[in-house]
Structures are given as C-alpha cells and as structure tokens.
Amino acid sequence: MTIKDSGMRIRVEKDLREAFVQACRAQDRHASDVLRDFMRAFTEKQIQGQADLFAGSKRKRK
C-alpha cells in the first residue's frame, strides 16, 4: 500500500453522498477506495486518449 499524503475535499448533494456510501457498503468497500479507483481509471483514460490523438497523426508527404 502506498502512503497517502494528500487530501481532497469536495462538496456533493447529501442524497448523492448517502447513495454512494450505501452502494460502497453493499460491496463491502470503503468510499475512499472506490473514489481512488475512479480517479485512477479516469486519469488513465485521459492519458490514453491523449496518446490516441498522436498515434494516428502520421502525415503523408507529397
């Protein structure tokens, strides 16, 4: 496990938070772990998306 040395505070609607926490509990997971997984997946998708932009950009020479 890595050391977590940075925090993030967000504000969400009470109903959304309660539904999220309940969904996490139903899967026997901590909400913070699920949020970290979402963040990792999102950033990896964004990084891959940027790589895809350049992968197909080979120009034909005249």
Residue 35: inside a domain, yes or no? yes
Q: What is the pLDDT of residues 48-58, one digit of tens each?
A: 887 777 776 55
DSSP state letters, the chain: -------------HHHHHHHHHHHHHTT--HHHHHHHHHHHHHHHHHHHHHHHHHT-PPPP-
What confidence score (pLDDT) does residue 59 get?
A: 57
CA distance 23 to 16: 11
Quote the domain boundaries for residue 35: 14-54
What confidence score (pLDDT) does residue 3 get?
A: 84
Q: How many domains does the chain have?
A: 1
What confidence score (pLDDT) does residue 48 get?
A: 86
Q: What is the pLDDT of residues 5-62, one digit of tens each?
A: 899 999 999 999 999 999 999 999 999 999 999 999 999 998 888 777 777 655 555 5
Residue 34: inside a domain, yes or no? yes
